[in-house]
Structure 1
Amino acid sequence: MKHPLPAQPRHIAVLRLSALGDVCNLVPTVRALQRQWPEARITWIIGKAEHSLLAGLSGVEFIVYDKASGFAGMRRLWRELSDTHFDVLLHMQQALRASVLSLGFKTGVRIGYDKARAKDAQHWFTHYQLAPHPRAHVLESFLDFARLLGVEDFTLEWNLPVPAEAIEEAAALTGDTPYLLISPCANPRLRNFRNWSAEGYAAVIEHAWTQYGLKTVLSGGGSTQEREMGERIVALSHAEAVIDAIGSTTLKGLLALIGRARAVIAPDSGPVHMANAMGTPVVGLFATTNPDRAAPYRWRDYVVNRYPDAVRTYLHREPDEIHWGQRVRHADAMTLIRIEDVIGQLDALLTRPNGRKQEDETDEA
């Protein structure tokens, strides 16, 4: 039997395991829930890497599920929570693995996406579905969960914790030098064609150095693809203009680097959303994914958007003729982004009257 939605939930479960950008976009929903019900417990079931980024988030209890642990890890998690009853479960992960995981949690109210947004038959695993919200940004889709529960204040708030050791880690790399941060590579997954060219990045680095006296910090993970990209960019750039930090920072250290940067440039990947969360100006590079759905939310006006061109060129359709959020899986799509596009948006950010987003600015989603 389906239970009614709780008017004042005492214990809320949030199920979102991945990815780094998505969990950053989810934090304003958690903050909205906290403002509405400050006494409620919030337990977030989250992935391992994502937890390392958000660890210490105020007012949130984290339960970590390592996807590599498979079904055995699910059983361990179910045993750990066997005596816990949630007033409501917000099922925010559109994946069959997460839906199976959700079955082991004790709750009479499971909220998931509406059929148009759900994937992997998620609506079969939930009691309530969100109201339709066509063409919603990912951040807005998360806020829809709070909206269904009756939350009214949707002021965007993050306040991500950055520990002292992370700040020290960032300072050790950059000192007091003002810098631009470039994270050149998205997650190296199959047919994930989101990366721009080393030549393009080198040209932007040269512009930042000669026009603004800004060094560029290169960031990223330790994969072969990322290291090779970093090496190509460094080889094409003046040595004094680049600090290569690829593969040498923790996620908290990267968050600190992003927080101290004058601006960030990256493709559709975790760092653009980390910058958005930290209030750091960011130029997102988008051609294979739709920025209307996935751009850094507060900096959408500064996105380099070649997605419509990519849809027309490689899918031979108009953007309004395809499924919302459909990706352009073509290796050449990012070549549609021009160097002058990126430099133009960077100039627009760096010459803004306030320079950075002010701490007291708020947004209504």
Structure 2
Amino acid sequence: MKPSLPAQPNHIAILRLSALGDICNLVPTVRALQRQWPQARITWIIGKAEHSLLAGMTGVEFVVYDKSTGLAGMRALWRELSDTRFDVLLHMQQAIRASVLSLGLKAGVRIGYDKARAKDFQHWFTQVQLAPRQSPHVLESFMDFARRLGVEDDRLEWQLPVPPQAYEEARRISAEKPYLVINPCSNPRLRNFRNWSAEGYASVIEHVWVQHGLVSVLTGGGSAGEKAMGARIEALCQPESVINGIGATSLKGLLALIEGARAAIAPDTGPAHMANALGTPTLGLYATTNPQRAAPYLWRDFAVNAYPEAVRTYLHKDISEVSWGQRVRHQDAMNLIKADTVIAKLDALLAHTEYRNASTRSSSVKGMSDES
């Protein structure tokens, strides 16, 4: 017999370790839970890097799990929470490692994805599943957990905390010029293939410099691949049109830099969703993943979508014949995105948001100022 869901939970656990983009997409669910039950404790079990992004978030107790610590880290976390019993555990990480981690947590009821959406046999580790949903965006899948608990007010709210020193980082890098943020690389992973070309980015940088008077600030981590990409882009651009900030910011500094940008451009990677969470106009570049599922949620209409063409070209199928989460793992897929298409989309995005200002971006910007 399945356990019943609590009508008014006193202590809610969220298990979602990674990744940065998914963490940003999950925050509105947390805010919805807080609105529904403002007195409830919320404990979020989260990855190390992801915690550095959200540290200081109001109303949430974070328990950090560093996946590099393996089983020893799991045991340490279990000991830390050995005296804690949650009313409900929202198991939101579809990975066997997270499911094993969940076994050492005490909870009255465990909610997970419905069988169609569950991966790595996650439904074996939960007692209650989400109601099935056809073709949801990642953000909507997360919000379904709140809805399953009975939350009706599912409006989107982020309020990401950004400390004053992060704004200092942003000012130092941007030199306080009007700028566009370009995060050219996704996380370096095996057979990732989400990155667009240096030549394509250079064309966009030239266009926004000449036509819009915007400097392009390159952002990203400090990996060798990201730094090499930044160097290639720089070499193709006029020196005054680009600032290379790759590897030069903390995650909080990156948030501040994105918040101050006129717009942000990125492939399928965390900073695209960080920009979305901040209300910054965001142009996502998609060919290997489906933007209807994974594009910056508030700016899906402006995403460059070469995914259907990639499915036809490299999987030899129509988009209607592949699963909702199907990826096109081909190194040439992103080359289907043409610079002229990106420039046209960017011009449309800038025109659409021409009269916006800091007070009308979103509640997330006000929330950041309140929490800084």
TM-score (norm 1): 0.97
Task: Please show how residues 12-31 of structure 1 align to structure 2 within 5 Å.
Answer: 12-31=12-31
**1:175 correspondence with 2:175:** yes
Task: Please show how residues 221-300 of structure 1 align to structure 2 within 5 Å.
Answer: 221-300=221-300
User: Aligned AA for 2:355?
Assistant: N
User: Aligned AA for 1:177?
Assistant: K
Match of 1:60 in 2: 60
Write the deviation string for residues 162-208 of structure 1: whole angstroms up to 9, x where unpaired: 00010111111113201000000000100000000000000000001
Match of 1:120 in 2: 120
Alignment check: 8 A CA contact 1:280 1:356 kept: no
Match of 1:3 in 2: 3
Q: Distance in 2 between matches of 1:277 and 1:355?
A: 16
Offset at 1:2?
3.5
Write the deviation string for residues 320-342 of structure 1: whole angstroms up to 9, x where unpaired: 10111100000000000010111
Q: Distance in 2 between matches of 1:194 and 1:248?
A: 22
User: Aligned AA for 2:63?
Assistant: I
Q: Distance in 1 between matches of 2:356 and 2:345?
A: 13
1:30 aligned counterpart, secondary structure: helix
Match of 1:78 in 2: 78
Q: Distance in 2 between matches of 1:186 and 1:174?
A: 22
Match of 1:190 in 2: 190
Change beyond 3 A, Cα 1:27–1:194 = same
Unaligned runs of 5+ residues in structure 2 are 365-372
**1:34 correspondence with 2:34:** yes
Change beyond 3 A, Cα 1:361–1:247 = closer
Offset at 1:356?
5.8
Match of 2:306 in 1: 306
Alignment check: 8 A CA contact 2:230 2:246 kept: yes
Match of 1:135 in 2: 135
Write the deviation string for residues 265-323 of structure 1: whole angstroms up to 9, x where unpaired: 00000011000000000100000000010000000011000000000000000001011
1:351 aligned counterpart, secondary structure: helix
Q: Distance in 2 between matches of 1:127 and 1:80?
A: 24
Offset at 1:354?
3.0
Q: Distance in 2 between matches of 1:136 and 1:15?
A: 20
Q: Distance in 2 between matches of 1:360 and 1:124?
A: 39
Change beyond 3 A, Cα 1:253–1:180 = same
Change beyond 3 A, Cα 1:25–1:303 = same
**1:354 correspondence with 2:348:** no
Alignment check: 8 A CA contact 2:157 2:363 kept: no
Identity of aligned residues (%): 71
User: Aligned AA for 1:326?
Assistant: Q
2:187 aligned counterpart, secondary structure: coil
Alignment check: 8 A CA contact 2:180 2:214 kept: yes
Offset at 1:39?
0.3
User: Aligned AA for 1:249?
Assistant: T
Alignment check: 8 A CA contact 1:2 1:108 kept: no
TM-score (norm 2): 0.96
Alignment check: 8 A CA contact 2:283 2:346 kept: yes
User: Aligned AA for 1:75?
Assistant: R
Q: Distance in 2 between matches of 1:344 and 1:355?
A: 20
Offset at 1:355?
3.6
Write the deviation string for residues 216-252 of structure 1: whole angstroms up to 9, x where unpaired: 1000111111010000000000001111010111000
Q: Distance in 1 between matches of 2:134 and 2:349?
A: 30
Change beyond 3 A, Cα 1:332–1:66 = same
User: Aligned AA for 2:218?
Assistant: L
Of the structure 1 ranges 351-360 and 74-83, higher mean CA displacement relative to structure 2 is found in: 351-360
Q: CA RMSD in A?
A: 1.2
Offset at 1:361?
7.3
Q: Distance in 1 between matches of 2:201 and 2:94?
A: 34
Q: Distance in 2 between matches of 1:354 and 1:325?
A: 36
Alignment check: 8 A CA contact 1:281 1:356 kept: no
User: Aligned AA for 2:233?
Assistant: I
Offset at 1:37?
0.3
User: Aligned AA for 1:128?
Assistant: V
